[in-house]
Structure 1
Amino acid sequence: MNDALRSKRQSKGMTMQDMANHVGISKSYYSLIERGERRVSYELTFKIANALNTTPDNIFLDFQSTLSKHSDKKAIK
């Protein structure tokens, strides 16, 4: 989920600190989420989606798209 979240956050001009403040967690915890080192609750997923002016399903669709791109690159090599 890391690339999709990072991409969306950056496209909104938000820093990790901005996002963490918006959703009510620490910057270090948000960083762990972006790196894929922490699972995200449904509640936090909705807060993150709200901060990005999107819906949780769009975040997951972007994540699936990112996975597909990485899989395609590995298949090409």
Structure 2
Amino acid sequence: MEYTANPVIRNIEATRKKKGFTMKQIADHCGRSVPWYADIAKGRRRVYLEDMLLIAESMNEHPKNFFTKKLSETHSSNKSA
């Protein structure tokens, strides 16, 4: 598997693997092909909001769980530096 610098995609993939879902199961739920999902997982394709919502739904997850920090937390930590 290729490395992606996108933390959201890394979290999506970590969740998928932890829950035991295959790329095919996610792609099927989204009405897409396995290469479509594989390209997202490998950082070769952008994930759009509509797709992220379907991916989250396919794993019974809330999309917010794919994000590591809130914008306000990031902004606050930059102020104190």
TM-score by length of 1: 0.70
Separation in 1, partners of 2:32, 2:18: 21
Between 1-10 and 36-45, the greater mean CA deviation after superposition: 1-10
Separation in 2, partners of 1:55, 1:3: 16
1:2 corresponds to which residue? 9
Unaligned runs of 5+ in 2: 1-7, 70-81
2:58 corresponds to which residue? 51
Unaligned runs of 5+ in 1: 65-77
Query: Hey, which bits of structure 1, 4+ residues long, moved more than 2 A?
Result: none
TM-score by length of 2: 0.67
The structure with the larger Rg is 2
| RMSD over equivalenced CA pairs, Å | 1.4
Letter in 1 for 2:64: D
Residue 38 of structure 1 pairs with residue 58 of structure 2: no
Higher-helix-fraction structure = 1
